[in-house]
Amino acid sequence: MPRLHRRLLPLAALALGAAFLATPTTAHRAKKKLLVVTVTKGFRHGDSIPVAEKVLAELGAKSGKFEVDYVRTDEEMAQKMTVAALKNYDGVFFASTTGNLPLPDKDGFLAWIKEGHAFCGAHAASDTFHDFPAYIEMIGGEFKTHGAQVEIEGLLEDDSHPATKVFEKKSFKVFDEIYQFKSFDWTKVHALVGMDKHPNSKEPGYYGVSWVKEYGKGRVFYTSLGHRVDVWQKPWYQEHVLGGILWSLKEAKGSAKLPKPDATPAILKK
């Protein structure tokens, strides 16, 4: 064998090994991959879910930071949400999921988030897995009830977070179905948006609307807004959601610092 060829063989072997190691699940991707989950086992937001799917794809394309894939059926969940298959994704977005979803490995799913991946949820994502306390702990709050759709004033707890910058340090008004929560402790999340009164009775108190938190090495973003189609279509809501996604995917900087256990929500001090 010519001497030059003998010298090139080790280099070729190294190149082949590097190519083998750079599988789609481990290689650096120019864009993150977000898995949008819209399976429901309870009430289905049949009008807004298709709009949510479309908007999330548009936000990914607009930002240039992520692309989306979908889980719409039990079969797709079984295929794409095993622990092994989740390695193909950087995060998930639960868009008004409800009920006990047929995840192949619920504990494995939460462990995957803790490893450093993103969980984003909108509206009924908190009306999911009521019988799985570890999921409720991860998302930060559990849907309890809602009254008639109503206009509320959203008050900012953190006006510099990527998910709230769109509001330019001002409160905002929105007409939507407004959730109230149980299993919710505002000192265990980093609050973004809240209310200083009950949405329907107007009784004074603290009511969470949107928050973030760290979960192991992973990041969690949740917004309770998004019942209505016209809310998903509003530019400010899309920027709110986009900011939360980018933060969760570690494509944007923002705080997730928890308040002191005896602290009072900032919006109740005003």
pLDDT in tens, 40-66: 999 999 999 999 999 999 999 999 999
Q: Is the pLDDT of residue 24 over 80?
A: no
Q: What's the rounded Cα separation, in Å, for the pair 195 and 154? A: 6
195 DSSP 8-state letter = E
Which class for 81: exposed (0-12), middle (13-18), buried (19 or more C-beta within 10 A)? buried
Q: Classify 134 as helix, strand or coil.
A: helix
pLDDT at 29: 64
Both tokens of residue 135? 């999921």
Q: What's the rounded Cα separation, in Å, for the pair 16 and 27? A: 15
Q: Is the pLDDT of residue 152 over 60?
A: yes
Q: Which residues pair with residue 36 across a beta bridge? A: 70, 93
Both tokens of residue 175? 């007409």
Rounded to 5 degrees, φ, ψ at 5 are: -65, -40
Q: Are 72 and 35 in contact (CB under 8 A)?
A: no
Interacting residues of 14 by C-beta distance below 8 A, sequence separation 6+? none
Q: What's the rounded Cα separation, in Å, for the pair 261 and 254? A: 21
Q: Render pLDDT for 74-102 as a digit per residue (tens, 0 to 9).
A: 999 999 999 999 999 999 999 999 999 99
Better pLDDT: 30 or 70: 70
Of how many residues is the chain composed? 270
Helices (H) and strands (E) in the chain, counts: 7, 11
Amino acid letter for position 154: G
Q: Is the pLDDT of residue 223 over 60?
A: yes
Q: Are 238 and 250 in contact (CB under 8 A)?
A: no
Q: Can you list the domains of the chain with their CATH numbers? A: 29-268 (3.40.50.880)
User: pLDDT band for position 134 (50/70/90)?
Assistant: very high
pLDDT at 256: 98
Q: Which residues pair with residue 92 across a beta bridge? A: 35, 119
Q: Render pLDDT for 241-264 as a digit per residue (tens, 0 to 9).
A: 999 999 999 999 999 999 999 999
> Which of 39, 48, 49 has its CA nearest to residue 228?
48
Q: What's the rounded Cα separation, in Å, for the pair 269 and 263? A: 11
User: pLDDT band for position 22 (50/70/90)?
Assistant: very low
pLDDT at 28: 57
- Mean pLDDT in residue range 106-134: 99
| pLDDT over 70 percentage in the chain | 89
- Mean pLDDT in residue range 124-151: 98
Q: What's the rounded Cα separation, in Å, for the pair 227 and 122? A: 9
pLDDT at 79: 99
| Alpha helices, H only, 140-234 | 229-233
User: pLDDT band for position 30 (50/70/90)?
Assistant: confident
Amino acid letter for position 254: G
